[in-house]
Structure 1
Amino acid sequence: MNPLFTALLVGPLLWVGNWIWCLYRNYRAAKLSGLPVLLSPFAPDGMPYLLIKGPLRPLLETILPFPGIRVSIFGWEFRDRHELHDRVGPAFILATPDLNELWCADPAMAQVILARRKDFVQLPIASKIMSFLGGNILTADGEDWARQRRLVAPNLNERISEKVWSESMEQANQMVDYMLRQPGGASRDVISGLRAIAINVLGQVGYGEPKPFKPMELPRDPAAAEKSTYVEAISLCAELLVFAALIPSKFMRMSFMPKALQTLAVAVENIPGLTKEMLEQERKRIASSHSGSGSRDNLMSMLVRLSDAGKSGDKQQSGLAGEAGPHGQYLTDDEISGNLFVFTGAGFDTTANTLAYAITLLAAYPQWQEWIQEELDRVLGEQEQTESPDYNTTYPQLARCLAVMLETLRLYPPVLHVSRSIKTSQTIRTAEDKSYFIQGPCVVYINNPALHTYKSIWGEDSLEFRPSRWITKGADGAEEELITPARGTFSPWSGGPRVCPGQKMSQVEFVTVMAAIFRQCNIEPVPNKEKGETMDQAKKRMLVLTEDSMPRLTLQMNKPEEVYLRWVRR
């Protein structure tokens, strides 16, 4: 028999045999867990399946009988919410030819997974993507994570929150003025405007770079990207993060590549130089402050002072809360770069998209605008609408504004799942004396959309937008207080020791923007007159836009430009 013919015949047979054996082996390992098992014939992250599964999702789900096909396609959690878990169980194993995946929507199990940070570590591919500009608090594990947490987290304090409050108020007031100046108060720039607020707040709080409000326009061609600022370059990377992290910039620069990727390549190549220049300038400012010229107080200056003081062992010189001094207790420049990217890219995208969903939902449900305006009128009283209220006395009283954020995050969590992985087999024992053996290595996902919409936890209206579910009367029956959900049932900022250190910053920014907008305005959808659309139909269209979403860096609407709203002064 011809050797070439033999190779062509035997090669595929060997590949199929290995595929069947791997799937069978992993299925047996999954059965040991005691959990329900679903099968996927494809490795979810394998090529070329990774490239085709999204566009071909309807076809794949129709022609392939494997129940795990749906689970293997990115974004299924948002499409299904709690439905699949209702049928299969609160936790199950997806057996694949590569690594098995544990999908958890069991609050007790989720709580254990998030608490055991040394056993359930960051997913390697997620760490690779999020650390492409340097190691950071999000991607680090073990003692490296503990060191960064000790140094960074204590400095995201009330001093930073107060700056977030004042800058958010200023930016939101400018946005209101911009919207009211549009013909008839109607604008399609609402979502880009909210993204501008988020990035401008980070520019001021993170880097001491104030910028006046205007709807966000990122560079869209390589020539414009050459002149982009650090914040603009980071924003481009956040928008196309997977490409930025995994595809070499030289390849993206090639003439046959789409212009968007060529533009991204320029931004990626410019970031190291922009970062170095920023750090050098900040160190010069800090040195000048020692001679009486004054220093800035922002996130970058804190990280630089903390790092330099740690290297020299001078904790008092830093003036910060971190434990600087002993060898290794400082941030390298690479880690400063990585942490600035995480706080800028991830912080910008999560807050901006939460604001986008909230504003669109409030336009569809005007009764909740009135609900938060009752609170604003009570708390702010006769203050001028453009006056910036005091942070320390006002923010704690705006429980309804924060409830709107929590309800938005419940239905539209920016991160659909909290990802972890295990390298060796682990036993998960819950408070209910249940025990599950998970054979390693294995990928672990905590399914936020399912946990956030279970009827047994959130009630029969679990899929409805009802911010008042988060409010209860205080002990004296007068002041309203926020409800604290049961542990393991609500994790938009992750949970356990690795809870997001920027949680308070994002809450302050969201509440401030809500307060600034709705103390001055009401918003409503603009009906499509050409189609004879009524106001009720326009409101329903807003809800369709929120459901037409896909996860990118975070969950985002596919057609944000169709959020067309009218702003009316109260």
Structure 2
Amino acid sequence: MANPVLIAVLLLPLGVFVSSLWGVFRNYRAARTIGLPIIILPISLTNLLWMMLVRHVMPLLERLPFGSGYFTRFCYTGWEFKDKSRAHVEFGDAFTSVTPGKNWVYLCNADAVTEIIRRERQGEFARPVEMLAMLDVFGPNLSTVHGKDWQRQRKCTTATFNEHNNALVWDESRRQAHQMLEYWMSAGESGTRTTADDVRTLALDVLLFAGFGKSFDFKGSKTKEKSTGPLSYRDALALILENAVPILAIGPKVLQRLSFVPGLGRLGQATIEFKQYMVDMLEENKHATDIQGTQANLLTSLVRAAVVDKQLSEDEVFGNMFVFNFAGHDTTAHTLAFTFVLLAVYPEVQDWMAEEINNVVNNNGSEQLSYDLFASFPRTLAILLETVRLFDPLLSLVKVSESRPQTLTIGDKDHTLPTGTQVLLNLNALQTHPKYWGDDGHDWRPSRWIKAGSVDGQEELITPVKGSYLPWGEGLRACPGKKFAQVEHVAVMVAIFREHCVAPVKLAGEDDAAAKKRTLDVVNDAGMVLLLQMFHPEKAALQWRKRV
């Protein structure tokens, strides 16, 4: 008599295969009605098991005879970074990716993108809430709710992002940058390999100061002490942010029950202690003598909304405290890491930026540059704009035709998208496509952002074609922290590059050209984890020195 367990084990792969085959067939029939070019993939990009294995499996698959086919080209999360605009030059402004799970329409047409963003206000397109539900780690938040709940939470949080807060960001970013530079300079000719870790610390310290009223001095990676006791608020949050993947995938409650698993115990403890810190901060601010008159930061705005205005629940306060830390920290940290390594490769861009910084300093007769001068640094801001153009942390924005089929004009044709179709606004393609950025759109060239000629000696930034540049989103769901991020990045650059410069540390036998190529390879060896990031930034050792 056959072993039923053995039969079940043998039938399981067959069942998965048949289910996947049926899913592809069903979705292919729906995709044909859209009328766009079709790419068929045998695995869904949102399959959790595949997402965990793909980075390890794909290098092996690429060596097989079909390694250059559509499967290895498109069948992994983050393929957009490597492919850039090539797929849309090849297949057109839009194409449909058919998978066993869903159909995905990849869109690279600025007019159609602008139309989708406009129609999102009317409820015709929406964010796929189920894809973002994992961000409900500590409670509902601005990233995971929609409709009236979103409007209510948006109103409670936007008061944080004002000019007073931007001035705090400016001052604290410069203070942290000076301390970070001092730490980097101490490494001498051997350079530092901790750039990515150190900018994570800087970004966290700025966020905690401007958003939560907590001040810390910068500590470099090698100066941090490993603790086995209770974690501070900053250390607990840092540990959570550094290990966001398992926390978002498993959830803090399950993680805490897995404390016996090596490596997870400390992380589970961090989620417990961070939640307790949030509870304590909420209670402390509840009993502030004059919460109504307190100068708003993110924390006081959330507490005021919960205690005075009765607009938020405590879980919503905790949820937003976490998601603003998560979203505001990692995007900034990864972008700073890319920027510093790129500047090391391109010394001429450092000189171009330093010229502007010194002109502003000299014209104002003081090194104590205030936030009022932020607009005087278009070149320095262009460094950020160009970096996120090519290294956008998100790669794409997802919208869905949620409630009914939607007709969308792409080029000169109308296409009807069935209910539930996922539309990916392919940011990496939009922001590199030769139609919008010229033949050198794949090159990192910050000067492209400066208008030819100037008025009264003041350079100005170009305005990209509407819908072709969306690193902070646009419309209803635009990132509320856009100015925060820009002010922070410019302030850090101003603090560091006025009197200092950076270069790759050369290995034995390398000349300048070889060292720059190797360092640029580190930059391009990047992909999606939760956001776009370099896989091995520690391979790019950077040496800092005083500018001659």
Query: TM-score with structure 1 length normalisation?
Result: 0.87
Match of 2:535 in 1: 558
* Structure 2 CA distance for partners of 1:417 and 1:308, relative to 1, 3 Å: same
* Structure 2 counterpart SS, 1:155: coil
Match of 2:506 in 1: 527
From 373, 383, 388, the equivalent of 2:368 is 388
* Structure 2 counterpart SS, 1:445: strand
The amino acid that maps onto 2:328 is: G
CA contact (8 A) 2:259 2:266 kept: no
* Structure 2 CA distance for partners of 1:254 and 1:289, relative to 1, 3 Å: closer
Match of 1:318 in 2: none
**Comparing 191-200 and 459-468, the one that deviates more:** 191-200
The amino acid that maps onto 2:192 is: S
CA contact (8 A) 1:208 1:296 kept: no
Match of 2:118 in 1: 115
* Structure 2 CA distance for partners of 1:229 and 1:218, relative to 1, 3 Å: farther
Match of 1:484 in 2: 463
* Structure 2 CA distance for partners of 1:177 and 1:16, relative to 1, 3 Å: closer
* Structure 2 counterpart SS, 1:429: strand
How far has the Cα of 1:487 moved from its partner? 1.4
Name the CA distance, whole Å, in 1 between partners of 2:290 and 2:11. Answer: 72
How far has the Cα of 1:517 moved from its partner? 0.5
Name the CA distance, whole Å, in 2 between partners of 1:141 and 1:216. Answer: 39
* Structure 2 CA distance for partners of 1:67 and 1:189, relative to 1, 3 Å: closer
Per-residue CA deviation, residues 189-240 of structure 1 (Å, 9 max, x unaligned), is 333222221111111111111111122479998x63x522333323322332
Name the CA distance, whole Å, in 1 between partners of 2:94 and 2:483. Answer: 30
* 2:514 corresponds to 1:511: no
Instruction: For 1:8-157, list aligned pairs within 5 A.
Output: 16-46=17-47, 48-60=49-61, 62=64, 67-68=70-71, 70-117=73-120, 118-157=123-162
* Structure 2 CA distance for partners of 1:122 and 1:516, relative to 1, 3 Å: same
* 2:263 corresponds to 1:269: no
Name the CA distance, whole Å, in 2 between partners of 1:359 and 1:83. Answer: 27
Name the CA distance, whole Å, in 2 between partners of 1:518 and 1:371. Answer: 10
From 167, 175, 197, the equivalent of 1:162 is 167
How far has the Cα of 1:498 moved from its partner? 0.6
Query: TM-score with structure 2 length normalisation?
Result: 0.91
CA contact (8 A) 2:188 2:544 kept: no
Unaligned runs of 5+ in 1: 312-329
CA contact (8 A) 1:185 1:567 kept: no
Match of 1:324 in 2: none
* Structure 2 CA distance for partners of 1:179 and 1:488, relative to 1, 3 Å: same
Name the CA distance, whole Å, in 2 between partners of 1:345 and 1:85. Answer: 32
Match of 1:257 in 2: 261
The amino acid that maps onto 1:95 is: V
* Structure 2 counterpart SS, 1:203: helix
The amino acid that maps onto 1:43 is: S
Name the CA distance, whole Å, in 2 between partners of 1:7 and 1:188. Answer: 50
* Structure 2 CA distance for partners of 1:219 and 1:263, relative to 1, 3 Å: farther
How far has the Cα of 1:58 moved from its partner? 3.4
Q: How many residues align?
A: 541
* Structure 2 CA distance for partners of 1:559 and 1:172, relative to 1, 3 Å: same
How far has the Cα of 1:7 moved from its partner? 7.9
* Structure 2 counterpart SS, 1:310: coil
The amino acid that maps onto 1:437 is: T
From 374, 380, 394, the equivalent of 2:355 is 374
Match of 1:321 in 2: none
* Structure 2 CA distance for partners of 1:166 and 1:428, relative to 1, 3 Å: farther
The amino acid that maps onto 2:533 is: Q
* Structure 1 counterpart SS, 2:398: strand
* 2:303 corresponds to 1:304: yes
The amino acid that maps onto 2:369 is: P
Match of 1:326 in 2: none
**Comparing 146-155 and 345-354, the one that deviates more:** 146-155
Match of 2:329 in 1: 348
How far has the Cα of 1:477 moved from its partner? 6.0
**Comparing 404-413 and 55-64, the one that deviates more:** 55-64
* Structure 2 CA distance for partners of 1:116 and 1:54, relative to 1, 3 Å: farther
* 2:193 corresponds to 1:188: yes
* Structure 2 CA distance for partners of 1:216 and 1:195, relative to 1, 3 Å: farther
Name the CA distance, whole Å, in 2 between partners of 1:363 and 1:371. Answer: 13
Name the CA distance, whole Å, in 1 between partners of 2:257 and 2:281. Answer: 25
How far has the Cα of 1:157 moved from its partner? 0.8
From 384, 396, 413, the equivalent of 1:417 is 396
Unaligned runs of 5+ in 2: none
* 2:346 corresponds to 1:361: no
* Structure 2 CA distance for partners of 1:121 and 1:241, relative to 1, 3 Å: farther
* Structure 2 CA distance for partners of 1:366 and 1:192, relative to 1, 3 Å: same
Match of 2:474 in 1: 495
Name the CA distance, whole Å, in 2 between partners of 1:72 and 1:134. Answer: 32
The amino acid that maps onto 2:94 is: A
How far has the Cα of 1:493 moved from its partner? 0.9
**Comparing 100-109 and 449-458, the one that deviates more:** 100-109
Name the CA distance, whole Å, in 1 between partners of 2:239 and 2:296. Answer: 26
CA contact (8 A) 1:120 1:420 kept: yes
Name the CA distance, whole Å, in 1 between partners of 2:519 and 2:531. Answer: 20
How far has the Cα of 1:88 moved from its partner? 1.8
Name the CA distance, whole Å, in 2 between partners of 1:489 and 1:217. Answer: 41
How far has the Cα of 1:3 moved from its partner? 10
* Structure 2 CA distance for partners of 1:372 and 1:47, relative to 1, 3 Å: closer
CA contact (8 A) 1:343 1:502 kept: no
Q: What is the RMSD computed on CA atoms of the aligned residues?
A: 2.8
How far has the Cα of 1:474 moved from its partner? 6.6
Name the CA distance, whole Å, in 1 between partners of 2:179 and 2:376. Answer: 24
CA contact (8 A) 1:426 1:437 kept: yes
Q: Percent identity?
A: 35
Name the CA distance, whole Å, in 1 between partners of 2:224 and 2:31. Answer: 47
How far has the Cα of 1:553 moved from its partner? 2.6
Name the CA distance, whole Å, in 2 between partners of 1:20 and 1:509. Answer: 49
Match of 1:232 in 2: 235
Name the CA distance, whole Å, in 1 between partners of 2:71 and 2:405. Answer: 23
Match of 1:325 in 2: none
Per-residue CA deviation, residues 406-442 of structure 1 (Å, 9 max, x unaligned), is 0000111111111233334432433855321111223
Per-residue CA deviation, residues 216-274 of structure 1 (Å, 9 max, x unaligned), is 479998x63x5223333233223322310221554576477342x33222212322211
**Comparing 448-457 and 430-439, the one that deviates more:** 430-439
Name the CA distance, whole Å, in 1 between partners of 2:137 and 2:402. Answer: 22
